[in-house]
A and B are shown apart, each in its own frame.
Chain A
Amino acid sequence: MTAANDGGHAAQVLRSRPDAIPFVSNDESGASGAGLAGTVKKRRSRLAAFKQRNIYVGGAIVLAVVLVALLAPVLAPRGPQDTDYGARLKPPSREHLLGTDNLGKDTLSRVMYGARIDLRVGILCVLTPFVVGLALGCLTGYYGGRIDSVLMRLLDVVQAFPFLILVIAIVAVLGPGLRNMYIAVALVAWVTYARLIRGEILVAKHREYVEAARAMGMRDRRVIGRHILPNVISSAVVYAMADIILYIVLAASLSYLGLGAPPPEPEWGALISEGRGFMATAWWLSFFPGLAIVITGIGFSLLGDGLADALRPSRR
C-alpha cells in the first residue's frame, strides 16, 4: 500500500525533471485524475509491481553477466585465444554454439571472456567521474559564489564538445588503449555528475531539514555529508547505472575505431570489429558480441529504471 503510493509519487517527481535521468520510464503517474479512487489504487499497485519487476529482471540480467564474467574460465568451453585450424569460420553448431572465427577461435568463449573486460571498463569509467563530479557538485552547489561560477563556465565549455569526439581526441593524443580511455572519460564525464548533483543540492539546501541542521549549529561538512548527500545521491546513482552501459558502448566504439582494446583482446567492440571483415561470410562474428552488449545494456537500463523508482520516495 505505501509502496504503491510511493511508486506513483516517484513517477511524478521523475516526470517533473525527465532531463536529469536518461532511462526513466515516466508513465502513468498521477495523470489519470479521473476514475474512482479504488481503480487508481489498484492501478498504482499494479504499476508498483511492474516497477519492482524492472529491478528483479534487470538485476537478474546484470547478475548473470557478472557471473559469466567472474566464472568465464570455468564456464567457457575453450580459452579465449585457443585456435583450432580444423574449425575455421564455422557457423553456430552444437560443437561451437556461436560459431568460430577465421583462426578457429570459439566465439562463445570469446564473448564470455569479453564480459570480464567490458564490465570492468563500464564500472571503472563511471567510478572516477562519479566521485569527482559528486565532490565538485557538492562544493559548488552548497557554497555557490565564485567557485560556482567558475565551475559552471568550465562545464559549459566541456559540454560544448560532442562527448565522443572529445574523448576520441584525448585518446588520440594520449595514445590508444583502454587505460587512456579511462583517463579521457575521467577528464570529460565528471561534468555531467557535477551538474546533476549541483542542481539537486541547490534545491535541497533550502529545505527545512537542512535549515534545521544548520540552526542546530552543525558544521558544513556534517550538513552536507549527513543530511544533504543521502537525499540527493540517488539520482546520481541511477544516472551511473545507465551510464555504465554507455561506457561499455563507448569502449566498444573506440575498439572498433582501433583506439580501445588492441585486437587479440576479446573485448566486445573489438570482436564486432574483427567480424566486420567477414560480414559477407560469417555474420555470427559481429552479431553475437553486439547481442551481448544489448543484453547487458537492457539489464542495466531496467535496473536503473527500477532503482530510480525505488530510491526516489525516500527523499521526503
Chain B
Amino acid sequence: MVPVLIGVTIIVFVLIHLIPGDPALSMLGIHARPEAVTALRHNLGLDKPLWEQYAIYLGNLVQLDLGDSIKYKQSVASLIPKRMTVSLLLIAYATVLTVAISLPLGIMAALKKNSIFDQIVRSLLMVTMVMPAFWIGILFLIFFSIKLGLFPVSGYGEGALDHLHHLFLPALTIALSIAPILVRSLRGSILEAMSADYVRTARAKGIGEQVVVTAHVLRNALIPAVTLLGLSVGYLMGSTVIVERVFSLPGAGALLVDSISARDYPVVQSMTLIFAALVILVNLLTDLAYSFLDPRVRLG
C-alpha cells in the first residue's frame, strides 16, 4: 500500500509539470505582470530542480500542507473539509441506495431465473448501464423537480433532513449507474452458489428453501458483491464530480471542476490526490471486510 501511495504522489506531482509552457504564467493568465509570475514560480518552487521540488512537495504533504488556492486565496487544506463533507454524504447516500436497489433485484432475478421478471430486470440494467449519469440527472430534474415539484432543483439545504431531501435525486442518479454492475454480479454469484455442493447437501438434509437461501446461498453470494461495491468506489467518486455539477451541489467534485476552469492547479492537484487516497483507503477496508465476511480468507 505504501509504494502505491508514493506512486500516487509522484503522478500527482508530475501532473502540474504536464502543463504546456510555464505553469505560473498559465495560472495567472497572459496579462499578468512578469514580477507576479516570477513570484508565483518561486512560491510554487518551480525554479528548483525537479527532485528537490518533489522532496518539498512530500515534506509539505506530511504536514498536511497542500499549498494555497490561487482563486480562493486561502490554503487548500482549509477549503476541503466543508466540500468533502457534502461529497462523502452524497457517496454514502448513493451507496445505501445502490444496495437498496441491487439487493432485492439481484436476489429476485436469480431466484426467478429466466422468468419475465428476470428478463425485464436484465434488459433494464443493460439500458441504465449505458445511460450517462448527467443525462439521468437532467431527466430527473426535468421530471421530478420541474414538472412534479417534488425535489429542489439545486443546492444542498440546511439541516440533516433537508440534506437528505436535497441529495436524494443526486444519490439516486449515481446509484442507478452502479446498481446494474452489482445486480449482475449478485445474480451470477447467487446462481453459482445455488448449484454448489453445500446447497445440495442442505436441501438433502430437508432444510426449508427459505433457510437454504438466506443462510447458505446469500451468505456466500454476498461476498463478491461486497468486494465489487468496494471496487466501484472509484467509479462512484468519478460520478460525484459530474452529478454535483448537474445538481449544483457545493461538493469536492464541484470544487475540482471549478478549479479547472479557474486554472487553480494547486486545488486540482490536491483534489486528485485526495480522491486517490480515499480509493486506496476504501480498497483496504474492502479487503478487511472480505476477511471478516469470509472465514476462509485470512490476511497474512
Contacts and interface: CB of A to CB of B under 8 A. Distances in A.
Contacts of A173: 15-16, 18-19, 265, 268
Nearest to B264: A172
A256 B243 CA distance: 11
Interface stretch (A64-72, A219-227, A245-253): A245-253
Nearest to B141: A279
Given A15-B192, A27-B114, A161-B275, A249 B132 contact: yes
Interface string B1-20: 00110011011000110111
Nearest to B265: A173
Contact of A259 (B11, B260, B265, B283): B260
Contacts of A158: 11
Contact of A290 (B126, B135, B268): B135
B179 interface: no
Interface string A156-167: 111111111110
Nearest to B16: A173
Given A272-B138, A279-B141, A162 B188 contact: no
Given A170-B15, A290-B132, A161 B234 contact: yes
A79 interface: no
A162 B235 contact: yes
Contacts of A154: 7
A65 to B, nearest CB: 13
Contacts of B4: 153, 156-157, 160
Interface residues of B, number: 59
Interface string B134-163: 110011011000100000000000000000
Contacts, number: 168
A9 interface: no
Contacts of A280: 142, 146
B245 interface: yes
Contacts of A301: 126, 129-130
A164 B238 contact: yes
A135 to B, nearest CB: 21
A17 B135 CA distance: 31
Contact of B8 (A157, A170, A174): A157
A264 interface: no
Nearest to B259: A172
Contacts of A259: 260
Contact of A157 (B7, B194, B261): B7
Interface in A231-275: 245, 249, 252-253, 256-259, 269, 272-273, 275
B18 A253 contact: no
Nearest to B263: A172
Contacts of B268: 169, 172-173
Contacts of A175: 20
A215 interface: no
B272 interface: yes
Given A253-B132, A298-B127, A162 B142 contact: no
Chain A facing B: main interface SS? helix
Contact of B142 (A156, A166, A279): A279
Contact of B135 (A25, A258, A293): A293
Most buried by B among A165, A175, A252: A165
Interface in A141-184: 153-154, 156-166, 168-170, 172-175
A166 B16 CA distance: 13
Interface string B226-242: 00000000110111011
A301 B123 CA distance: 11
A152 to B, nearest CB: 11
Given A161-B8, A272-B132, A166 B261 contact: no
B241 A298 contact: no
Interface in A271-297: 272-273, 275-276, 279-280, 283, 286-287, 290, 293-294, 296-297
A82 interface: no
B112 interface: no
A172 B257 CA distance: 9
Contacts of B288: none
Interface of A: 15, 18, 22-23, 25-28, 31, 33, 153-154, 156-166, 168-170, 172-175, 245, 249, 252-253, 256-259, 269, 272-273, 275-276, 279-280, 283, 286-287, 290, 293-294, 296-298, 300-302
Interface of B: 3-4, 7-8, 10-11, 15-16, 18-20, 113-114, 122, 126-127, 129-135, 138-139, 141-142, 146, 181, 185, 188, 191-192, 194-195, 234-235, 237-239, 241-242, 245-246, 256-257, 259-261, 265, 268-269, 271-272, 275-276, 279-280, 283
5 contacts: A157-B4, A170-B15, A172-B259, A173-B265, A293-B135
